[in-house]
Structure 1
Amino acid sequence: MHPFLILTLLGVTVCTVVTQYMIRVGIMDVPGNRSAHARPVPKGGGVAMMMSLLAGAVYIVIFHPFPATEYLKTGIVLAAALGLAWFSWRDDVHQYPPSMKLRAQLIASVIVTICALWGLPLTLLTGLKIIGGVGFVIYVTNALNFMDGINGLAVGTIACCGLILTPLLLVSAQNSESALFFSLGIAALTFLYFNYPKARIFMSDVGSQPCGLLLGWGALLFMRNGTWSLLVPLMLMGILFDVTFTLIRRTLKGENLMQAHCGHLYQIAGRAGMSKPLITLVHWLFIFWGGLVGLTFIGFKAQIILALVPQFIWAGYVILRARGHHLAL
């Protein structure tokens, strides 16, 4: 059987079995005043995604060995993601302070950034690239986590990105990386069945944070290769724009950025009466639009402008809809 077919069967099976187990365990997410759900829903579904990802990695190691250097870097990245998942699971249960979360993200981000940029000459420019890469990975990790507020939005993003990046990494002869992203895409696509349009379980931080870390790592891989350099950020433009727009808006209003809120564009759209499944579909369309733009060979500035156009249209529409419903922005 073809390795990717086996990875599919393995990923679907493991993710389904573990997700159903987590539903039965019933660690509940009780709704609060910022929640999009009205009744308690089991959480921790990201555990199933991580177990599915790990199972795929074990299969590749045993049956389709790659050169040791590929194993080393990809294995370290996977270990960092699983470590962040473990911490995030404990955080889901015990609620650690934000400073502890940031330290865990920083450690994991440093690890995956060094792995992505490994082999570059030890120069000041490389040091600056590492610092910028770490900051970017942390931002993507938190952005995906912030956007995991309605059914299917975050996990659908993970599924789309993982499966789109798989063949492109194969073309670039990054075989172990491609296998890892394929396993990630299959795990997310399987979990999506349990999460969208009606959620039987939530992914929670144990899924969103390590997956955000891996997407940030994938972005650095493409940036280093120089082919389709901005592909991943352009695919994630809907998420990155929403988070950046919200941070700027809250800063200008003098709000405490460390305080929890429900002021993201996607949340405002939901409060203004827009169907939540439709909001999720809009964000999936952003991914494919960004991917198409990122695969073109026009200049970087043109790519960024083309990716931003639908974001400004979306923001304008949400603001107008919110004003029509007399919602404070």
Structure 2
Amino acid sequence: MQHYIYGFLMSMVLAYLVTPFVMKLSWKIGAIDVPTDTRRVHKKPMPRLGGLAIYISFVVVGLITLPLNLPYVQGIFLGATIIVIVGILDDIYDLPAKVKLLGQIAAAVVLLLFGIKVQLITNPLGGMILLGKLAIPATLFWVVGITNTLNFIDGLDGLAAGIAGIAAFTMMLVNLSLEQANGALIMALLAGAAIGFLPYNFNPAKIFMGDTGAMFLGFVLAAQAIEGAVKSATAIALIVPILALGLPIFDTAYAILRRFVNGKPLMQADKGHVHHRLMAIGLSQKQAVLYMYVISISLGICSVVLAMIGIKQAAAVFALVIFMLLVSVRYINITVEAKKSTHGM
């Protein structure tokens, strides 16, 4: 256990020490987020290359502590590097969405080349379902989807970094319970890097993680979720990361559905995310972020417990969590609309 604690602490301390240098670099190369619309919460230009500090700490400590001869470790490192390069370019030049998507697909293809793919899932009715040729599109869909969920939710100071840290810590505990030592260490390093960056990113933020950080964190979480599921070959291993990342996954799915129903482009930003709704009913930035931390921690605890039970209990609890999220969002929407009507009068 000391091995994981040391890895976590090393990654956290390094991220904390490197971030000030990345802040200076952001200003120097023009990786700045300038608020140009009402959707953005911040009111002044902010450096947004913080994800580079998270990546550097993860890679440096990983090179010291991880077995680099393992293909799946190599695949995660190479794919993550591609994601970070795309993120840096986007944080400087604001790349078109199609270009970012191509970069994400390229990183996912790297995982496939190194043997990291969704090969099978457990049938709740019994037995295993081999995906065969569907393994490639399933892997691409999973990696690109999870990579973008954190990007979608990265709208308040400290929100994406905190939720990614909670999810990584949750998956570390689950990997330990499944006796997946390398997976647990990768998640320990990721959690440490995200939390080490958080003091500079929590409200009032001094730096944003940008697409560099959001995509990197999402990519590594997605990749490790696949590897953990392949090694354990159980439905629990797939449900756990879904629950651990339940909040950003739900928020992203709801955003896509909302935009589709309203006839708007799926990638068009709006103020309908859960964190925007929480602020609309009167919560401050800090309160909204802490509220969403609590939800993520609750889902994380659920994930750890589920990993020690079974598929039937997992399905029941997962359905209950989804129901509670739907009720919560519905309540927030009603409150927002009521507040608008009151102001309109």
TM-score normalised by structure 1 residue count? 0.89
The residue number in structure 1 matching 2:205 is 199
Shift of 1:218: 2.6
The residue number in structure 1 matching 2:315 is 301
SS at match of 1:326: helix
- Structure 2: state its 5+ residue gaps: 121-128
2:284 to 271, 275, 280: 275
Matches of 1:158 and 1:15, distance apart in 2 = 15
Residues 85 and 209 in structure 1, CA contact (< 8 A), matched pair in contact too = yes
Residues 12 and 187 in structure 1, CA contact (< 8 A), matched pair in contact too = yes
1:228 to 217, 236, 247: 236
Root mean square deviation of aligned Cα: 2.5
The residue number in structure 1 matching 2:268 is 259
TM-score normalised by structure 2 residue count? 0.85
Shift of 1:124: 7.2
- Identity fraction in percent: 25
Residues 146 and 249 in structure 2, CA contact (< 8 A), matched pair in contact too = yes
Task: Detail structure 1 runs of 4+ shifted over 6 Å in the superposition.
Answer: none
Within the alignment, does 1:189 sit opposite 2:162 as a pair?
Answer: no
Residues 10 and 192 in structure 2, CA contact (< 8 A), matched pair in contact too = no
Within the alignment, does 1:179 sit opposite 2:188 as a pair?
Answer: no
- Partner AA of 1:248 in structure 2: L
The residue number in structure 2 matching 1:21 is 21
CA 301–169 in structure 1, closer or farther in 2 if over 3 Å, else same: closer
SS at match of 1:243: helix
Q: Could you give the per-residue CA deviations for residues 284-309 of structure 1, whole angstroms, max 9, x where no partner exists?
A: 22222223333322524313212212
- Partner AA of 1:39 in structure 2: K
Shift of 1:5: 4.4
CA 278–112 in structure 1, closer or farther in 2 if over 3 Å, else same: farther
- How many pairs were matched up? 320
1:151 to 152, 157, 178: 157
- Partner AA of 1:22 in structure 2: V
Shift of 1:91: 1.2
Matches of 1:272 and 1:32, distance apart in 2 = 23
The residue number in structure 2 matching 1:320 is 334
Matches of 1:124 and 1:197, distance apart in 2 = 46
Q: Could you give the per-residue CA deviations for residues 90-142 of structure 1, whole angstroms, max 9, x where no partner exists?
A: 1110122111111111111233356333887xx97222133222202211111
Moved more, 5-14 or 311-320: 5-14
Matches of 2:229 and 2:151, distance apart in 1 = 23
Matches of 2:265 and 2:13, distance apart in 1 = 43
SS at match of 2:340: coil
Q: Could you give the per-residue CA deviations for residues 201-257 of structure 1, whole angstroms, max 9, x where no partner exists?
A: 111100000111111123323433216330110121111111111211221111122
Matches of 2:2 and 2:294, distance apart in 1 = 30
CA 38–171 in structure 1, closer or farther in 2 if over 3 Å, else same: same
The residue number in structure 2 matching 1:99 is 98
CA 216–119 in structure 1, closer or farther in 2 if over 3 Å, else same: closer
Matches of 1:125 and 1:255, distance apart in 2 = 33
- Partner AA of 1:108 in structure 2: A
Moved more, 134-143 or 267-276: 267-276
Matches of 2:227 and 2:298, distance apart in 1 = 21
The residue number in structure 2 matching 1:117 is 117
Within the alignment, does 1:289 sit opposite 2:298 as a pair?
Answer: yes
CA 163–293 in structure 1, closer or farther in 2 if over 3 Å, else same: closer
